[in-house]
């Protein structure tokens, strides 16, 4: 697909709007009292519910309905696992530490995307990997009490990289982003539901109430249904790496919001933010030296 300045600016503007909205997800996850897994089950339920009416629009149902639904639902299992681990990391640590760990998603994409799309891995990937390890090492050294949160956050970052690449492959089939997003939300809902039947069946019979219900709906509609559909559309125009690179601005929004709302800056010292800056600096520097593809 050709690139034009107008299309490029519009795509980048939409991308950064979604990143800004992503910055609120961790805040909402901290506010909502549900555990990480149950929270995601309700999140994807509301997201699928909000996306469903748009499927009736002409041209959104693909010709290969069952094939694309199966592929989308399969990717949804990865999405659900990523979100469950993301919110669980927040519950056992805090928003800032989890977002710093999530910065490693770019590294995973840098190594995995060439494998999926059969391109060569350059020499910069191992160097950026070392920078990220050093930054995370500094963070872990000053906040050892959040070690488990960092570990879960890194696992979530790996899942984030995988599903972003899978999303790009799905988007490049020409299937509607709304259909793909709906299929993924449905797959995540069913997958997490089966897990909860085994892990905590009582969670499936308890409807969030009051503030939890409202915030979970906001999380599922605006922060999920809207952003997911937009991101999938953007993946037809720009690479998965470019998307994840922009998403690495999410910690900046998250740090500021967490400091303003939860006063997390009082829990963390300057070494934490230095480690975070090292990670973000390495990732952004890597992005600047890479030749743009379609963005």
Mean pLDDT, residues 77-81? 95
Q: Does residue 101 lie in a domain region?
A: yes
Residues recorded for the chain: 295
> In 3D, which of 60, 33, 32 has the Cα closest to residue 176?
60
32 token code pair: 């909502």
Three-state DSSP class for residue 59: coil
Q: Does residue 294 lie in a domain region?
A: no
Task: Give the pLDDT confidence score for residue 267 in this predicted structure.
Answer: 66
Q: Does residue 154 lie in a domain region?
A: yes
Report whether pLDDT(119) > 90. no
Mean pLDDT, residues 4-22? 72
- The dihedral over CA atoms of 10, 14, 17, 23, expressed in degrees to the nearest 10, equals -140
Q: Does residue 168 lie in a domain region?
A: yes
Report whether pLDDT(234) > 90. no
Q: Does residue 66 lie in a domain region?
A: yes
> Is-contact 33 27, C-beta < 8 A?
no
Q: Does residue 206 lie in a domain region?
A: yes
Task: Give the pLDDT confidence score for residue 192 in this predicted structure.
Answer: 95
What is the residue-averaged pLDDT of the chain? 82
pLDDT confidence of 230, banded at 50, 70, 90? confident
b/e 88-126 (16+ beta carbons within 10 angstroms → b)? bbbbbbbbbbbbbbbbbbbbbbbebbeeeeeeeeeeeee
For residue range 24-41, list pLDDT tens digits in order: 888 999 899 998 899 999
Q: Does residue 173 lie in a domain region?
A: yes
pLDDT confidence of 295, banded at 50, 70, 90? very low
292 DSSP assignment = P
CA pair distance 80, 278, nearest whole angstrom: 29
Count of CA atoms in the C-beta half-sphere (13 A) of 109: 28
Answer with the residue of higher pLDDT: 78 or 144: 78
Q: Is the dihedral of CA 18, 243, 231, 73 positive or negative?
A: negative
Report whether pLDDT(190) > 90. yes
CA pair distance 170, 79, nearest whole angstrom: 14
Q: Does residue 32 lie in a domain region?
A: yes
Backbone dihedral angles phi then psi of residue 268, each to the nearest 5 degrees: -120, 150
Mean pLDDT, residues 211-223? 94
Task: Give the pLDDT confidence score for residue 13 in this predicted structure.
Answer: 80
Report whether pLDDT(286) > 90. no
CA pair distance 273, 198, nearest whole angstrom: 39
CA pair distance 166, 163, nearest whole angstrom: 5
> In 3D, which of 127, 130, 142 has the Cα closest to residue 96?
142
Residue 246: exposed, middle, or buried by beta-carbon count in 10 A (0-12, 13-18, 19+)? buried
Count of CA atoms in the C-beta half-sphere (13 A) of 102: 31
Owning domain of residue 96: 5-289
Count structural domains, the chain: 1
């Amino acid at each position: 697909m050709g690139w034009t300045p107008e299309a490029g600016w519009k795509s980048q503007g939409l991308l950064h709007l979604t990143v800004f909205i992503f910055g609120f997800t961790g805040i909402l996850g901290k506010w909502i009292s549900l555990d990480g897994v149950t929270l995601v089950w309700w999140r994807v339920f509301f997201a699928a519910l909000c996306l469903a009416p748009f499927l009736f629009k002409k041209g959104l149902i693909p010709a290969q309905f069952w094939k694309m639904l199966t592929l989308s639902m399969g990717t949804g299992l990865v999405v659900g696992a990523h979100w469950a681990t993301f919110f669980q990391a927040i519950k056992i640590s805090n928003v800032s530490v989890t977002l710093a760990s999530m910065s490693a998603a770019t590294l995973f994409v840098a190594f995995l995307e060439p494998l999926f799309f059969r391109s060569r891995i350059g020499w910069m990937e191992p160097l950026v990997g070392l920078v990220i390890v050093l930054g995370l090492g500094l963070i872990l050294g000053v906040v050892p009490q959040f070690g488990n949160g960092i570990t879960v956050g890194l696992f979530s970052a790996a899942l984030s990289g995988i599903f972003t690449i899978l999303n790009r492959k799905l988007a490049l089939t020409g299937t509607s982003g709304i259909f793909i997003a709906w299929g993924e939300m449905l797959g995540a809902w069913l997958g997490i539901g089966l897990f909860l039947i085994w892990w905590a069946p009582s969670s499936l019979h308890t409807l969030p109430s009051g503030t939890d219900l409202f915030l979970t709906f906001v999380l599922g509609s605006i922060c999920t249904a809207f952003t997911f559909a937009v991101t999938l559309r953007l993946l037809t125009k720009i690479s998965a790496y470019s998307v994840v690179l922009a998403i690495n601005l999410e910690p900046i929004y998250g740090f500021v919001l967490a400091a303003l709302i939860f006063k997390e800056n009082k829990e963390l010292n300057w070494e934490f933010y230095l480690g975070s800056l090292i990670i973000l600096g390495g990732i952004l520097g890597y992005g600047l030296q890479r030749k743009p593809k379609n963005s």
